Amino acid sequence: MVKLIEPVQSGSVLVNDIRRTQLQPGEVAIWWFGQSGYAIKTASTLFCVDLYLSEHLTHKYARTDKPHIRMTRAPVRGGDLRGVRWVFASHKHSDHLDPETLPALLAANPEARLILPLALVDHARSLGVDAGRLMPTRGDETLSLDSLTVQVLPSAHPGFDYDETTGYPFLGFVFEVDGVKLYHSGDTLAYAGLAERLRPHAVNIACLPINGTDERRSQLKVPPNMNMDEALALAAAIGRPLVIPHHYDMFTFNTADVQDFAARAETAGQPYRVLHCGEKFIWKVKAG
């Protein structure tokens, strides 16, 4: 039996920390919830990306050749969070668009809207999400959401799977809000042209996957992500923003050693921050 990694903060302590955190323009607070899930707060808004806060996949794959054995305990459940204005899901996989987390999160935050690929509207409605709560996007477009401007970029997981009617089913997001620019990759390879798409946005922070792939995962048909070296190379190509790694320490069969990533980042001279589940990290734009 795997001994679960305990969050730094959880339950009401974490919920209250998010609620009480007050920020100025040029500041952003980031809480990592495991895998690729974040709560992100600025002076004007609170939004969440790719939350997986259930054991949905553990139950789904329990009797298969790729059991999803959880490594990190969920710090909260979707229904615990309050004050969330925007919710983003990068693609259909349940550790990014969780059938148990999202309906509870939206029920607890009646003003929140879910931004997701247009191709997933029917899927989201099948989970009980009202169509009026959805903001679908084809990808490769700009969204204006109150104080939040979002550049929606295609991701490759491993292909683009573009459809003329619905657009891109795998997405990444560049968030620009209150003087901060942050890229969340979703799941993606470091495909040719990604750096060129990102470079004009001059992001301050890049949240990138590091789990890559291997022969066993390929045989199990687990879609690959960029690996540690590819994440570092992408960061170097777009101006060396602060890298926050993700997509590790969630499932035993599909993870990476984040300390290895940290050592490689140190060697490469790449700014980075490894977050612990439930930890608050505040980043400030440097004066001048």
The predicted model gives 92-106 an average pLDDT of 98
Q: Where along the chain do its domains lie?
A: 11-17+24-284
**pTM over 0.85, yes/no:** yes
Instruction: Look up residue 146 and give its DSSP letter.
Output: T
Q: In the structure, what pLDDT confidence band is assigned to residue 204 with cuts at 50, 70 and 90?
A: very high
The alpha-helical segments, DSSP class H, found in 187-273 are: 194-198, 215-219, 228-237, 258-268
pLDDT tens column, 211-250:
999 999 999 999 999 999 999 999 999 999 999 999 999 9
Distance between CA atoms of residues 126 and 103, nearest Å? 11
Q: In the structure, what pLDDT confidence band is assigned to residue 286 with cuts at 50, 70 and 90?
A: confident
Domain 11-17+24-284 has CATH 3.60.15.10: yes
Instruction: Look up residue 223 and give its DSSP letter.
Output: P
Query: Residue 2: what pLDDT?
Result: 78
Enumerate residues 6+ apart whose C-beta is below 8 A from 92.
Answer: 117, 119, 120, 123, 169
pLDDT tens column, 44-91:
999 999 999 999 999 999 999 999 999 999 999 999 999 999 999 999
The closest alpha carbon to 35, from 96, 92, 90, belongs to 96
